[in-house]
Structure 1
C-alpha cells in the first residue's frame, strides 16, 4: 500500500483497491493455513490507515472502529473483510466441502487411502513400522486414525447423533460416510445439510487432534475435539449467513444503486456525520456542503467530546447550522443518517442526553428563513463525504 498515494484516489477508488486487490491477495493462503492473530491485526491496521488517510497525510481521523466498517453494507458497514474471521471461514469450508463435494481434495485423500498415516508411510519406507503411535495397539490405517481407535470411537460416540463406527460396520472411509449421509437424508428433517456438515467438521478436527498429538505432543481429549468442531460449525454458519447477506445487498445495490441526491436549484445541502469512541468519550464530526450541481462549497471536520453517539451526531448538526448562519448561506437542507435525531428535531421534542444541543439546534433553525432537515441512508451519506 505504500506505493499508492492517497491523494490520487477518492474513497470509491480506495474501496475498490482494498476489496479487489489488497484483501483478495491472501485468500489462497487463507484456504490452507491458519494466520496468527497478530499478523491479521497488522494487515487490518494498515488497511484502516490507508482508508482514512487524506490529502497525502500518513494518518487521518478514523471515523469508525474497524469492527464497524467490516459489517455488511446492509448493517451500515463498508463490507471490508475481517481477515481473522475469514481465515477461519475458509478453513471451515474445507471441512464442509468434504461432505458437499465428493471430489474435494481432503475427502479424496481419505477415501483413496492416501493420507500420511503409519501404514502408508511404512509402505514408502518413511516410517520404521506401521504401528499407531497414539494407541500403540494396531496398524494405523486411515479408517483406524479417523474412526476406529479407542479415542476416535469415543469422540464419535460423544456427539449428539452418536455415530458409532466399529470394525464390522466400517469397510472404508468412503462407504462409511455414504451410509451416514444416507441415514441423515432419510431422517426426514429439514436440516439435513447442516447435520451432514457436522460430520465433515468432526472428521477434520479428529485429524487435526491426531496431528497435534504426534507432532506437538498435545494430549488427546474427545470433549475438547467435539467442542472445537462445534465452534468451527458456529463460526462458519455465522459467516456464511453474513456472506449471503452481503451478496443480497450487493445484488440490491446493483439493481437500485445508491446515489447522493442533490438539493433543489438555488439550494445547498449540508451532509453531516459523526464518529464516537465510547471508551474515552471522544469523537469527531464532519460537515460537507454542496450545491445543486454537486459542487463542494465548504467542508469542515473537528474533534469533539461526547457521551454517546446520538450526542456526537447532534453536535455535527449544530456545527452545520452554525456555519450556515455565520456565512449567511441562505436556503439550506441539513441531511443526516441518524433517523432518531432527525425525527426528534422535526417533531420539536427532545432526547434527554442531548437536550441542550437539540435546543441550540432549534434556536439556530429559527434564524434561517428557508431551511430543511432530512434523513438519508448511511450509504448515501457516505457518498456525500467523498
Structure 2
C-alpha cells in the first residue's frame, strides 16, 4: 500500500540501516548480500510471494546516486568493504589505540597495517579488515613531509595521476631507499 517514495524510505531506513554495525565489523558473504538486495528489489517493485512483477529499471541503476538518475540505494558489497576499510583506516591513523596495538602485536608486528600479510588462522574480524585494505591502498597516497617513512620505488607519493609512483628504473641507492634521501635538507633551512 506504500507509494514508491514510501518504499524507498522504508528500504533505506530499515533494510539498509540494520546490518550497518555487522558490516563495519565483518565481511558478509556475497550470497547474503545478494539475498538481502533481492528482498529489497522485490519489495521495491511490489512482489509478493512468487508473484512476478516487471522491474522497470535495473538494480544497478537504482543504486546510482540521485544526481546520476538513481534512487541512492546502497550496493551492499561495496558498502560492506567501505565500512571495513574505515576500520582499517582507524588502525592506520590511530596506531596507539588499544585495537591497533592488539592487531599489530598479532598480525603485523614489524610493520604497519598496509604492509601486513594474512597469517594462518586469522580471526574473522581481522580477515574482514584485511580484505578491505585494498580499498585503502588504491585510494591513498603519501604526503611527503620529511620523507622518512616513504619508500622511493614502492609507495605512492608523487602528484602524477597515473600511478603516483616513480616509473623510472631504480638507480644507485640503498637497497631500500626512502624519499628523505632525495630531499636536500640544507636548502630547506
The normalised TM-score by structure 1 is: 0.31
Distance in 2 separating the partners of 1:234 and 1:69:
28
Distance in 2 separating the partners of 1:44 and 1:92:
21
Question: Out of 223, 228, 232, which is 2:135 matched to?
Answer: 232
C-alpha deviation, 1:65, in angstroms: 1.1
Structure 1 pair 228/94, CA: closer, same or farther in 2 (3 Å)? closer
Distance in 1 separating the partners of 2:52 and 2:20:
27
Contact 2:85 2:132 survives alignment (8 Å): no
Q: What residue in structure 1 maps to residue 76 of structure 2?
A: 83
Q: What residue in structure 2 maps to residue 92 of structure 1?
A: 85
Query: How do residues 305-344 of structure 1 correspond to structure 2 at under 5 angstroms?
Result: none
C-alpha deviation, 1:60, in angstroms: 2.0
SS at match of 1:80: coil
Q: What residue in structure 2 maps to residue 109 of structure 1?
A: 99
Which string of whole-angstrom CA distances, capped at 9 and with x for unpartnered residues, describes residues 223-274 of structure 1? xx8x974x3226777xxxxxxxxxxxxxxxxxxxxxxxxxxxxxxxxxxxxx
Which string of whole-angstrom CA distances, capped at 9 and with x for unpartnered residues, describes residues 281-334 of structure 1? xxxxxxxxxxxxxxxxxxxxxxxxxxxxxxxxxxxxxxxxxxxxxxxxxxxxxx
Distance in 2 separating the partners of 1:88 and 1:40:
12
Contiguous gaps of at least 5 residues in structure 2: 124-129, 141-189
Distance in 1 separating the partners of 2:135 and 2:28:
16
Question: Out of 27, 31, 37, which is 1:38 matched to?
Answer: 31
C-alpha deviation, 1:146, in angstroms: 1.4
Query: How do residues 124-273 of structure 1 correspond to structure 2 at under 5 angstroms?
Result: 142=105, 145-148=107-110, 200=113, 202=114, 205-206=116-117, 209-210=118-119, 213-214=120-121, 229=133, 231-233=134-136
C-alpha deviation, 1:34, in angstroms: 0.7
Contiguous gaps of at least 5 residues in structure 1: 1-7, 116-140, 149-164, 166-198, 217-224, 238-386
Contact 1:70 1:79 survives alignment (8 Å): yes
Higher gyration radius (CA):
1
SS at match of 1:62: coil
SS at match of 2:18: coil
Structure 1 pair 48/42, CA: closer, same or farther in 2 (3 Å)? same
Give the aligned CA root-mean-square deviation in angstroms.
3.4
Distance in 2 separating the partners of 1:67 and 1:235:
23
Structure number with the bigger relative contact order (C-alpha 8 A, sep ≥ 6) is 2
Structure 1 pair 77/92, CA: closer, same or farther in 2 (3 Å)? same
Q: What residue in structure 1 maps to residue 8 of structure 2?
A: 15
The normalised TM-score by structure 2 is: 0.59
- Greater percentage in helix: 1
Distance in 1 separating the partners of 2:31 and 2:88:
25
Contact 1:30 1:90 survives alignment (8 Å): yes
Query: How do residues 49-88 of structure 1 correspond to structure 2 at under 5 angstroms?
Result: 49-53=42-46, 58-88=51-81
Distance in 2 separating the partners of 1:55 and 1:43:
15
